[in-house]
Amino acid sequence: MADEPIPTNPRRRAFAPLAWGLARTITAPARLATATGAASLGAAARHAFAQTGPGRWRPTRNVDYLVPAGPGAALDAAARTLKDLIERQQSLGAPIVVSNRPGGAGTVAINALLTRPGDGHALTTYTHSMLNHALIGDTSVTWRDLTPIAVLFEEAITVAVKADSPIADARDLVARLKADPAALPIGVATAVGNHIHAAIALPLRAAGVDVSRLTIVPFKSSAESMTALMGGHIAIVSASAPNVPTPLAAGRIRVLATASGQRLGGTLSGVPTWRELGVDAVYASVQGVLGTRGLPAEAVAFWEGALRTLSESDEWRQFLVRQHWRPHFLGATEMRRFLDTEAEVARGVLRSIGLLR
């Protein structure tokens, strides 16, 4: 059982929903490394790349893959599957070492990368939280301070309650929160204002709930928030789809709705979308991979190629099906354009609801 978290102030500003078709969001860190230190690290990295020859860069030592969430989270599962498949597909001579760096809405992981400019042996997961938090002013560093490598897939977010919850269904949930928005603690991972938070704030706002008054309780991972739900410490969980099937099959939770544009498959095929319930709201986020600041083109090319090969493999596609994720591959150049577009859309939405600082 996870430790019971300290709830945020019930009157604390809830993340105003960033919704647009398939909305996407993400958070970033603060600037680290002095100019002198960054320059020396960058020079050393460039020297190492030069020794391998133009366009022929490959990892020569352990690769650190930093996951901005705790063990057992959907982010963690994706990173560890990615690690296993790339190690085999690329015949890497050194392992990819996955380590969990939860905290600060992803800033802990990103700050670690900022100390290693130009180093192709350090990667992290991109989540839409990085975009949200930079725009609302929670961090001074954006994805532009790192190197986009690839987008891998879209993920769906669900809303669940404990199996014996008095909340009958999604319509009942809306009615209760309209009457008292702060009454029901809602668990999200990994931070207030991220994509998990947005995915529940958006439909609730569309249904007429004052989302600025929601009681939001952040956890290090959706695995932890789900444990807290089943333990009766919170009333509702907003969680990505991979965290739902096991407790659902065990009869420990009920899933009220999904923010995706269409119903999910498999064991979640019976879960209605918010639109089916009469709430005009659709939300999905993406996951991808980022490299360090100033990553040489040779290293970008290697990792982009490795991730493209990964995305085309049957093993990876089967993994996505099990996780209820939809394939959505974009290479480095496409990813940069995609994030530029998403940032502009998010900026307009945040401005319209008064959260753009």
Q: What Å distances lie between residue 51 and 5, 55, 229, CA to CA? A: 49, 11, 53
Percent residues over pLDDT 70 in the chain: 80
- pLDDT at 170 (0 to 100): 97
- pLDDT at 205 (0 to 100): 87
- pLDDT at 355 (0 to 100): 57
Instruction: State the average pLDDT over residues 35-40.
Output: 38
**What would the pLDDT profile of 132-156 be if each residue is shown by its tens digit?**
777 777 667 777 889 999 999 998 9
Q: How confident is the model at residue 349 (pLDDT cuts 50, 70, 90)?
A: low
- pLDDT at 196 (0 to 100): 85
**Least reliable range by pLDDT among 104-108, 239-243, 260-264:** 104-108
Check whether 30 has a pLDDT greater than 90. no
Which candidate, 241, 307, 267, places its Cα nearest to that of 81? 307
Which candidate, 272, 327, 225, places its Cα nearest to that of 7? 225
Instruction: State the average pLDDT over residues 176-187.
Output: 97
In the chain, what is the straight-line distance between the N-terminal and C-terminal CA atoms, in Å? 38
Q: Which residue has the higher pLDDT, 144 or 24?
A: 144
**Angle at CA 112, nearest 5°, toward 150 and 12?**
90
Separation of alpha carbons 68 and 126, rounded Å: 9
Instruction: State the average pLDDT over residues 230-238.
Output: 97
Separation of alpha carbons 145 and 63, rounded Å: 20
Instruction: State the average pLDDT over residues 125-129.
Output: 86
Check whether 40 has a pLDDT greater than 60. no
* pTM listed for this prediction: 0.74
Give the mean pLDDT of the chain: 82
- pLDDT at 108 (0 to 100): 85
Domains of the chain with bracketed CATH: 26-155+286-352 (3.40.190.150), 157-268 (3.40.190.10)
Check whether 248 has a pLDDT greater than 90. yes
Q: Which residue has the higher pLDDT, 140 or 183?
A: 183
**Least reliable range by pLDDT among 26-35, 81-90, 125-134, 292-301:** 26-35
Q: What Å distances lie between residue 132 and 6, 145, 256, 280, 348, CA to CA? A: 23, 15, 25, 21, 12
- pLDDT at 356 (0 to 100): 60
